[in-house]
Structure 1
Amino acid sequence: MHILVMEDDPVLGDILVDYLSELYTVDHAYHSDEVYALLDKNSYDLFIFDINVVGKNGLRLLQELREFSYTTPTIFITAYKDTKHLTQAFEAGAHDYIKKPFELDELQARILNLKRIFNLDQQTSIQLSSDLVFNPKTKTIDKENQTISLGQKNTLILEYFLKNKARIISNDELMQNVWDYDSLPSEATLRSHIRDIRNIIGKEKIKTIRSEGYIYE
Structure 2
Amino acid sequence: MIKVLLVEDHIKISQNIKTYLEDEFEVMPVYSAEEAKLYLAAESYDLIILDLMLPGEDGMSVLKYLEQKQITVGVIVLTAKEDLGDKLKAFNLGAHDYVTKPFFMEELKARMNVVLKGLGKITKANLLTFKELTLDTSKKSVTIKGEIVEMNEKNYHLLEYFLLNKGILLFKEQIFDRICGYQSDASTDIIEVYMSRLRKVLSPFGYDRYIVTKRGMGYMLDETK
**Scaled by the length of structure 1, what TM-score is found?**
0.54
1:104 maps to: 105
Instruction: Write out per-residue CA displacement over residues 59-110 of structure 1, whole angstroms, 9 at most, x where no aligned residue.
Output: 1221122111112110001101221111111011101000000000010110
* Shift in Å, 1:46: 0.5
Is 1:26–2:35 an aligned residue pair? no
For the 8 Å contact 2:74–2:116, the answer to whether it is kept is: no
SS at match of 1:81: coil
For the 8 Å contact 2:52–2:79, the answer to whether it is kept is: yes
How many percent identity over aligned positions? 31
SS at match of 1:90: helix
* Shift in Å, 1:35: 1.2
Q: Residue type of the partner of 2:10?
A: D
Matches within 5 A, 1:121-132: 121=122
1:75 maps to: 76
SS at match of 2:42: coil
Is 1:8–2:6 an aligned residue pair? no
1:53 maps to: 54
1:133 maps to: none
CA distance in 2, matches of 1:39, 1:99: 24
- Return 5+ residue gaps in structure 1 as ranges: 123-217
Instruction: Write out per-residue CA displacement over residues 96-135 of structure 1, whole angstroms, 9 at most, x where no aligned residue.
Output: 000000000010110110121111127xxxxxxxxxxxxx
2:189 maps to: none
For the 8 Å contact 2:6–2:28, the answer to whether it is kept is: yes
**Scaled by the length of structure 2, what TM-score is found?**
0.52
Aligned-residue RMSD, C-alpha: 1.5
1:113 maps to: 114
CA distance in 2, matches of 1:119, 1:94: 16
Matches within 5 A, 1:1-217: 1-121=2-122
* Shift in Å, 1:13: 0.7
SS at match of 1:26: strand
**In the comparison of the two structures, how many residue pairs are matched?**
123
Bigger Rg over Cα = 2
CA distance in 1, matches of 2:22, 2:55: 24
Structure 1 runs of 4+ with >4 Å offset? none
CA distance in 1, matches of 2:67, 2:99: 20
CA distance in 2, matches of 1:100, 1:35: 21
Q: Residue type of the partner of 2:86?
A: H
